[in-house]
Structure 1
Amino acid sequence: MRKITLFLFIVCCTIATSCSDKFLEVQPKAALSNTVLQNKAGINALLIGAYSLLDGWATAEGAYRSYQSSGDNWVYGSVASDDAYKGTIAGDQPPISLIEQGNIQSDNIYFRGKWRGMYDGIARANDVLQNLPMAKDISEAESKQIVAESRFLRGHFHFELKKMYNMVPYIDDKTYSPSDLESTKVPNTEDIWPKINADLQAAYDVLPATQTQKGRVTKWAAAATLAKAYLFQKKYAEAKTLLDAIVASGQYKLMPLYHDNFRAVTNNNAESIFEIEHSVNDGASGGENGNIGATLNYPYGGGGVTTCCGFFQPSQNLVNAFKTDANGLPMLDDFNKEDVKSDQGIESTAAFTPYDGQVDPRLDHTVGRRGIPFLDWGVHPGKLYVRDQAYGGPYSPKKHVMYRSDVGTNTFASNPRLNANNYRMIRYSHVLLWLAEAEIEVGSLEKARDYVNQIRRRAANPDGFVKGTDGKAAANYVIKEYATAWTDKALARKAVQFEQRLEFGMEGHRRFDLVRWGIADVTLNAYYPAEAKKRSYLNGVTFIKGKHEYFPIPLQEILNSQKNGKATLTQNPGY
């Protein structure tokens, strides 16, 4: 009887629709029409969707993976610099190996992964702005703040693209038309800095100094991001004005302990200005909100932290940079003449005594090395934590790694590599060191020295030293302030740039900083031949000035940009 009834229902439906095509007009499953979203709840959902792209990831893993577009830029900012190796083994994720080795081609899937992630974020911000005017249950004040948050996010995503590829299309809510799928096929011939600046300025002008919901951007997040953009443009006076305002607000301070910037239990602390929020056990079935972009970057084995995957290993060059001289200061010019002792080639069962020379205490909050406590997991065992020491070196990454005490609370139930340790994209220490940069160029060298000394004073706090089970410092930590007045601008500039490397090592900033400082070619072409003595795959690698400052526009995006048989996107010089 049920079958007959069902058959009659189908026939009736067929008759009712046989003279009309309206039955074909079906909304896609798992999609909402604009009219459903044009209200307060819908707009907030769209805005949260835009925020969710800050970590670079939104879709199921396939050919495009989370680590290609990770918000911390570990591949493009660190592995593509002198801070880190790809690590693991030669045959795992070969597209990263190509980037590390300077074999940079436009068909590398990683470049398209980053491009897609950022333009997905831009599209979501524009969705908010296009639908907002039709939402009638939102007050004028709320509307202004929603616009400001959306424009901040759009500015941020374009900023990420700008520093990666330089000449990229700027897509705003006026450019994209839902009824014209080719509306975003616009040339990349325009320098988009003015439009990035305008988005960030609009956000700064409207956003409140604080937000009740953690993770929503504030006036000072916009100010810091705009100041950073100005530094990339060498507009030091404009950057200084904004950075001075952040300091004058009194809202932020350096945390007493350096490592509090890298713990889930101290997320959104007094030093944090702009964080990418990570969460776990929040209903996402795969734990994908838990810093999925860094999921490869954990010790490989050893019965400790995890069993996967051994990527993102600190370079010997970075480790050497943490050595200090007799005055407790960085060895700006000759830090790489002699290596900090490592356990390269030594089995974990064999005896090993760690380096006993003077080092900056931030070393052991940045790098995992044999004989030094690895967070609260016990002493780093060396080779047991490394997948292939001969290929990737003896060191492990550390800043993003969860503590043992986080497991089960700040880690995903079935995969502790997915965790709630936020990525601090901008913190107060950035503001102070950026101010030091600006003061050197348009202000006072002595003010610059004071800002750097504030950073070093915090690092010198013995309460923040990594300690052994006996409560004593785990290594010979010696760090002091610059006691002599700065009178040489070039030397001051070098000191500030070096301090930024020490403070932000392994945080995805290094290559972009080298490029904006105009020293990428000199620095990396000194790094490659020296490091090649340890990592033979770096033999013959060269940074080509005038080409490698930026990555290539992804080939597939150029092909997809065609209108009337002609590409609207132009490739970067040299590719």
Structure 2
Amino acid sequence: MKSIYQFSVGALIFLVLGSCGKGFLQRTPQSSLEESALTNKKGVNTLLIGVYGALDGQDFKDGDMLNLSGGSGYAVSPDNWIYGSVCGGEAHKGSDPGDAPAVLQIATFMGNATNGFFNDKWRVDYEGIRRCNFVLHVLANVTDMTDAEKKELAAEAKFLRGHFYFDLKKMFDKVPWIGEEDVSYSKLIVDQYKIPNDKDIWPLIEADFKFAAENLNEIQDVVGRANNWAAKAYLAKAYLYQKKYADAMPIFEDVIENGVTSKGERYELRPKFHDNFDAFTENNSEALFSIQYSANDGSGGTGNANQGQMLNYPYNGPFSCCGFYQPSQDLVNSYRTDNNGLPYLDDFNTHPVKNDMGVPDSVDFVPDAGNLDPRLDWTVGRRGIPFLDWGNHPGAAWVRNQQSAGPYAALKNVYMQSTQDKYYDGNGWAPGNAINYVLIRFSDVLLMAAECQAQVGSLDIAEEHVNTVRERAANPDGWVKKYIDPDHPMGGVTNVPAANYKVSEYANGAFAAQGKSYAIKAIQFERKLELALEGHRYFDLVRWGIAQTELNRYFAYEQTITTDVIGAVFASKHVRFPIPQRQIDLSVKNGQPTLVQNTGY
């Protein structure tokens, strides 16, 4: 099967969508002649590929990797590593405190509406929406497609539009809805910031996903294109975010019981956890919808590689950049398990995992010998433990500033040494790689379904879904193993676990025996363990209504270890990010802004 990104977009996309520099909202509209040249099956499909190309928010231009609004690519990474994981207490900004200070402001909730990263995020999502709307606008006049073909293509465009709006909604809450029926294409470019943000857009997001779920094909002949099951999962997720548990639950269960990938394979967990983060095993039975990346594909530069994570590799060593995105001690402690192989749901920080803070490389260090969930070492790089096939993590030698951001390194975004010739792209100033970002994977669906089941009182089914996830974690075949020869890590591994891994399922009937509140707490904690550093945590905490309590607890604990979060406070207004001031300024109409700022900013 072909990948959607292997199609040549060429000059046609550039002609229609233009370059994506800082002035893209003010571009002169394309002529009717140019638009009419696209009003056919080939033209509108090429435009749709341009929408998929906007999912990563990146644009390679003039020898540099920028985002679609002209700013830094990492500001708008679609995995939301800044907004979802760093702001969720899973990781520190990393590097030195003075490196990318705008990120540290956001991480400590000191960023205001003038922080340029918020404006970049806003503009990039609306660029994706603009492309979706133009596809729908052109599609209405296409005559060489059947009604069924047009409906399926419209469903893809609406699925992608739903994705972009979902991202904006969970980031900013109050955002304006711009649809293809609201404005002409020319006004879509010139006046998109003149529409007020005074309406709840959840019903419109639901409508896009419903249309997609009803009209997308189940099987796709191109890897990367969304199918109807991905749309169903996204629709259920939209219900979940609104606490419509009874609406979301049957859809999630349908995906679990009957869903198939675009290749026609049943959705199921892979035996090995790390298969979700290895370019060699991606687009597998666990991936409902992924942003496709490739490296060294002849496209020029790093245009198709994952550049949103360009900063997030260990400092020094074999990697060229840059020591950002360092997991927190709070996250690492969460992987401690008790003698029954279960997590400490309430007091995990009173059972801390040993670290090497302040221990020089020249001094021997023995890693923690206590019980640990094995997912820790596929998520976090820590001293003395194999870091994929790059060798044992050496500690401070790969950390830019321990005092500021701790001793750890992110791992899920790192490519393998053994396949770097194929999946690493070094054409940019910072590393790129071909590891897809999975927007929705099957374990996520299982845990969202578990949450819905628990909320409506079906605790046994909720427990079954959680245990399915934990059963995979308990599979020794998927654990990190010690090297045969640590000095030659690509020489293979032994059968000896790299740490004292102990993880078990919840005892049959534990959720029912201990009640709904216990079950929900266990499900929330399982999401932390399973989905760490994948950009979900902050948004989960907000929708659960526990962000203020959890993040202030996190700051109080973590500032005893690192200096970067000293003084950080999460206030009630921080359950949403500020509307970018630049967008409010641009929205002035008849002397008054049409965009209203979120409360408290």
Q: How high is the TM-score relative to the length of structure 1?
A: 0.92
Q: In 2, Cα distance between the equivalents of 1:153 and 1:261?
A: 22
Choose 407-416 or 525-534, whichever is displaced more: 407-416
| Paired position in structure 2 for 1:276 | 291
| Paired position in structure 1 for 2:17 | none
| Paired position in structure 1 for 2:239 | 230
Residue 594 (structure 2) aligned to one of 564, 568, 575: 568
| Paired position in structure 2 for 1:53 | 54
Q: Structure 1 residue 403 and structure 2 residue 403: aligned?
A: no
| Paired position in structure 2 for 1:80 | 87
Aligned length: 546
Residue 503 (structure 2) aligned to one of 460, 470, 479: 479
Q: Residue 408 of structure 1 aligns to a residue in which SS?
A: helix
Q: In 2, Cα distance between the equivalents of 1:515 and 1:29?
A: 41
Residue 170 (structure 1) aligned to one of 156, 167, 177: 177
Q: Residue 548 of structure 1 aligns to a residue in which SS?
A: helix
Q: Deviations over 1:232-265 (max 9, x none)?
A: 0000011111111111215200101111011000
Q: Tell me if the contact between 1:402 and 1:417 (Cα under 8 Å) persists in the aligned partners.
A: no
Q: Deviations over 1:312-338 (max 9, x none)?
A: 010000000000011100000110124
The 1:396–1:32 alpha-carbon spacing in structure 2 relative to 1, beyond 3 Å, is farther
Task: Output the aligned Cα RMSD.
Answer: 1.7
Matched letter for residue 295 of structure 1: M
Matched letter for residue 455 of structure 1: V
Q: Residue 289 of structure 2 aligns to a residue in which SS?
A: strand
Q: In 1, Cα distance between the equivalents of 2:582 and 2:304?
A: 28
The 1:573–1:29 alpha-carbon spacing in structure 2 relative to 1, beyond 3 Å, is closer
Q: How many angstroms does 1:59 deviate by? A: 6.0
Matches within 5 A, 1:87-486: 87-180=94-187, 181-182=190-191, 184-249=193-258, 251-302=266-317, 304=318, 306-414=319-427, 417-470=431-484, 471=494, 472-485=496-509, 486=511
Q: Tell me if the contact between 1:72 and 1:425 (Cα under 8 Å) persists in the aligned partners.
A: yes
Q: Residue 425 of structure 1 aligns to a residue in which SS?
A: strand
Q: Structure 1 residue 41 and structure 2 residue 50: aligned?
A: no
Q: Residue 294 of structure 1 aligns to a residue in which SS?
A: coil
Q: How many angstroms does 1:307 deviate by? A: 2.2
Q: In 1, Cα distance between the equivalents of 2:424 and 2:95?
A: 23
Q: Residue 422 of structure 2 aligns to a residue in which SS?
A: coil
Matched letter for residue 483 of structure 2: T
Q: In 1, Cα distance between the equivalents of 2:517 and 2:467?
A: 18
Q: Residue 483 of structure 2 aligns to a residue in which SS?
A: coil
Q: How many angstroms does 1:98 deviate by? A: 0.3
Q: Residue 421 of structure 2 aligns to a residue in which SS?
A: coil
Q: Which runs of 5+ in 2 are unaligned?
A: 1-27, 260-265, 485-493
The 1:341–1:186 alpha-carbon spacing in structure 2 relative to 1, beyond 3 Å, is same
Q: In 1, Cα distance between the equivalents of 2:480 and 2:322?
A: 25
The 1:378–1:32 alpha-carbon spacing in structure 2 relative to 1, beyond 3 Å, is farther
Q: Tell me if the contact between 1:177 and 1:183 (Cα under 8 Å) persists in the aligned partners.
A: no
Once superposed, which parts of structure 1, at least 4 consecutive aligned residues long, lie more than 4 Å away? 27-32
Q: In 1, Cα distance between the equivalents of 2:405 and 2:33?
A: 47
Q: How many angstroms does 1:378 deviate by? A: 1.1
Matched letter for residue 272 of structure 1: A
Matched letter for residue 592 of structure 2: K
Q: Tell me if the contact between 2:60 and 2:301 (Cα under 8 Å) persists in the aligned partners.
A: no
Choose 462-471 or 411-420, whichever is displaced more: 411-420
Q: In 2, Cα distance between the equivalents of 1:183 and 1:335?
A: 47
Q: In 1, Cα distance between the equivalents of 2:563 and 2:323?
A: 19
The 1:255–1:403 alpha-carbon spacing in structure 2 relative to 1, beyond 3 Å, is same
Q: Residue 274 of structure 1 aligns to a residue in which SS?
A: strand
Greater C-alpha radius of gyration: 1
Q: How many angstroms does 1:484 deviate by? A: 4.6
Q: Tell me if the contact between 1:274 and 1:425 (Cα under 8 Å) persists in the aligned partners.
A: yes
| Paired position in structure 1 for 2:18 | none
Q: Tell me if the contact between 1:176 and 1:184 (Cα under 8 Å) persists in the aligned partners.
A: no
Q: How many angstroms does 1:426 deviate by? A: 0.6
Matched letter for residue 314 of structure 1: P
Q: Structure 1 residue 517 and structure 2 residue 544: aligned?
A: yes
Q: In 1, Cα distance between the equivalents of 2:41 and 2:146?
A: 9
Q: Tell me if the contact between 1:175 and 1:184 (Cα under 8 Å) persists in the aligned partners.
A: no
Q: How high is the TM-score relative to the length of structure 2?
A: 0.88
Q: In 1, Cα distance between the equivalents of 2:152 and 2:310?
A: 34
| Paired position in structure 2 for 1:496 | 523
Q: Structure 1 residue 541 and structure 2 residue 568: aligned?
A: yes
Q: Which runs of 5+ in 1 are unaligned?
A: 1-26
Q: Tell me if the contact between 2:105 and 2:111 (Cα under 8 Å) persists in the aligned partners.
A: yes
Matched letter for residue 422 of structure 2: T
Q: In 1, Cα distance between the equivalents of 2:29 and 2:199?
A: 36
Q: In 1, Cα distance between the equivalents of 2:357 and 2:458?
A: 44
